[in-house]
Amino acid sequence: MPTDLRLATLADLKLQLLIAPGDPGRDTTLAALLDRVSRIIERFCNRNLIKRAAYTEYHTLDESRSRIWTLDFPIVAITSIHESTDQTYDSTTLLVDSTDYVAHKGEGRITRVSGSSRISWDAGFERSIKLIYTAGYDDDANTKTNIPDDVQDVCLRLAAIGYREIEEKLQGLSERTAVGGAQIRGLTRELSSAHLTESMQDQLQAFVKMDRIPTGERD
């Protein structure tokens, strides 16, 4: 598991802002900005981009179909998939990869098969499919190397905008009173999705979860 859920590194943000790598004076503010901006981007994309702990997901189908989509993607690994009309999730209902289903990991699509033939998932039964999996861009080493360049670029650009706005406001505040950490955190929270420029939104479009047939849920 990554130690943070930021979409870019502190070192890269310092480079973007021409701040010396060895200067720790602004690290707290910059880290808070990266946290804030990463959440803004994930909300815009309508999904978690960085891999978290395993998800347990249940799917209910109201009509027959051969494909389901996970709530998050890309899929990193599938721990198990059960299909049961009475929610008996044991060895008798466990599906086998490539024999009972095929996972298209990049888009989070799972197709039900029987051997080489595509078949339908059980429909009309509450939570007939139980899926345990991990998804998102793997960043366990906290290097951000697996996060797409466009996502990192938008994160850094948006954080830089926020930093410059905060610096201007802090300068005005410091002329009247001492500035504390609470004020800095408050200014950081003023950054919102409204700060995403049109070019930033265009860069992120490829990562936005589009409307899908809503069959999955989590507890």
CA–CA dist 14, 128 (Å, integer): 49
Q: Quick one: tokens of 139?
A: 């960043």
The per-residue pLDDT for 135 is 96
Of 25-34, 55-64, 131-140, minimum mean pLDDT range: 25-34
pTM of the model: 0.85
pLDDT band for 189, please (50, 70, 90 cuts).
Answer: low
What's the whole-number mean pLDDT along residues 165-174? 65
Q: Note the pLDDT tens digit of each residue in 68-122.
A: 999 999 999 999 999 999 999 999 999 999 999 999 999 999 999 999 999 999 9
Q: In angstroms, rounded to a whole number, what is the distance separating the alpha carbons of residues 118 and 120?
A: 7
pLDDT in the model for residue 3: 76
Looking at every residue in the chain, the average pLDDT score rounds to 89
The pLDDT of residue 176 is 40
Give the HSE-up count for residue 184: Cα atoms under 13 Å, Cβ half-sphere.
17
Any idea of the CA torsion for 67, 70, 71, 73, to the nearest 10 degrees? -120
